[in-house]
Structure 1
């Protein structure tokens, strides 16, 4: 159907960039930092290893990201789990946002006007919105329009990417203990050979989860907050009245 174009949610690459950013914690370097915590006696490398393992072991988590992916603006807030379920919002280059819910192999997706217009132009956007009338588009991940959500929402794939990423490139140093998102953290700071900087804030109490990642590449800053570790993805889905099946949408658009 030529009137529906795939809405290019950048959540997948945004998540992957954030996760792989954590693997920049390479060779140990620098001092111990102040304060006392479970990480106080550990080197930067040891903290990095523990943070990466904690991230790989997470059953679910939430990403809140504001910045850039492959040079393009991205903003997202998405909770996802190992079963491939997720819920939240993802935004693109021109400030639009798409509400996303995925449970099992079922997807509900609702792009706002700015997103439709960015992806397919004003005329086609108006046509589609005239049919959807503010409802979610609903269908299976086997549908070409919705298939991308299968990867976007799969935490296991992101964790596999972390496991396979090369973490030997950057020297990291321990910064002074501080507080981020109400949690006590130890920052790991480093720069790549190109001068790009990455700071990973690791929880110093309880499980050493990465709490925040700040990446600066080419002068552009991307900030990722990672929370809600092991909390379940919400299971509430839009009602039939709030949704339109993608097959019905295609049918109605054929005559539009």
Structure 2
């Protein structure tokens, strides 16, 4: 099962999108403007406040999507992740693979991790007839263990909001000039689009018009790139419900059961 590689690919996805966010959210040299109505703030002032609010968030629900050229042809390359995660490393959500590679649900509380692949995921990750047998054997069951296990730790590494925030905060490149668009709506929320260009791609961040000014969507498009990340539920607790023991298989038994198929 190639989940370790998938986790690395998932980490690359979060790093790439964090880098895009870092460009737009790179701090200005001037002091950050005080919170006020978005009509009165410049594009860079709005970006600065969005940056601070994202870096200060205790938790957030984010959806990262990569529809770039070539990504969807690989069943082992993640094309999206939908996760509620916090600074303590807790998370709940799922990761979707390209080209019928299926999805895998993830739950992490403390150092405990649960992972539930669907049928397509098993078939894509386990070669030959073993994949079909594994899909049947582990149908509707969670693989459970701790972050001490390499298989689960790799997947759980995507759950840490602190790491995502660190990637954004570490951005030390020159921030592109941002253009502030007119007020519009995204998912029922009034926002200002802030747009800049970097290395042939167009970066756009939608920041809430009302204070506190928060980023709710960042997109990067151009030169074969089509990526986005949405943010919602700032500072709302990550769901704490964990799968019941009767629906779980200990990760220590996973290889043993796969070998017996």
TM-score by length of 1: 0.86
**Correspondent of 1:179 among 168, 185, 188:** 185
Please, what is the CA RMSD of the aligned residues? 2.2
> What are the within-5 Å matches in structure 2 for residues 200-215 of structure 1?
200-215=205-220
> Are residue 238 (structure 1) and residue 243 (structure 2) matched?
yes
Residue 63 of structure 1 and its aligned partner are, at CA, apart by 1.1
1:94 and 1:114 in contact (8 A); partners too = no
| CA 1:215–1:107: 2 relative to 1, 3 Å | same
Give distance in 2, aligned partners of 1:245 and 1:218: 44
Question: Tell me, which stretches of 5 or more residues in structure 1 are unaligned?
Answer: 29-36
Q: Secondary structure at the match of 1:24?
A: helix
1:131 and 1:253 in contact (8 A); partners too = no
Question: Tell me, which stretches of 5 or more residues in structure 2 are unaligned?
Answer: 29-35, 73-78
Partner of 1:166: 172
Partner of 1:84: 89
> Are residue 21 (structure 1) and residue 20 (structure 2) matched?
yes
Give distance in 2, aligned partners of 1:122 and 1:224: 35
1:131 and 1:249 in contact (8 A); partners too = no
Comparing 221-230 with 10-19, greater Cα deviation is found at 10-19
2:123 and 2:135 in contact (8 A); partners too = no
1:135 and 1:242 in contact (8 A); partners too = yes
2:68 and 2:224 in contact (8 A); partners too = no
Residue 169 of structure 1 and its aligned partner are, at CA, apart by 4.3
Q: Secondary structure at the match of 1:23?
A: helix
Partner of 1:136: 142
Give distance in 2, aligned partners of 1:190 and 1:110: 39
Q: Secondary structure at the match of 1:200?
A: strand
1:102 and 1:149 in contact (8 A); partners too = no
TM-score by length of 2: 0.85
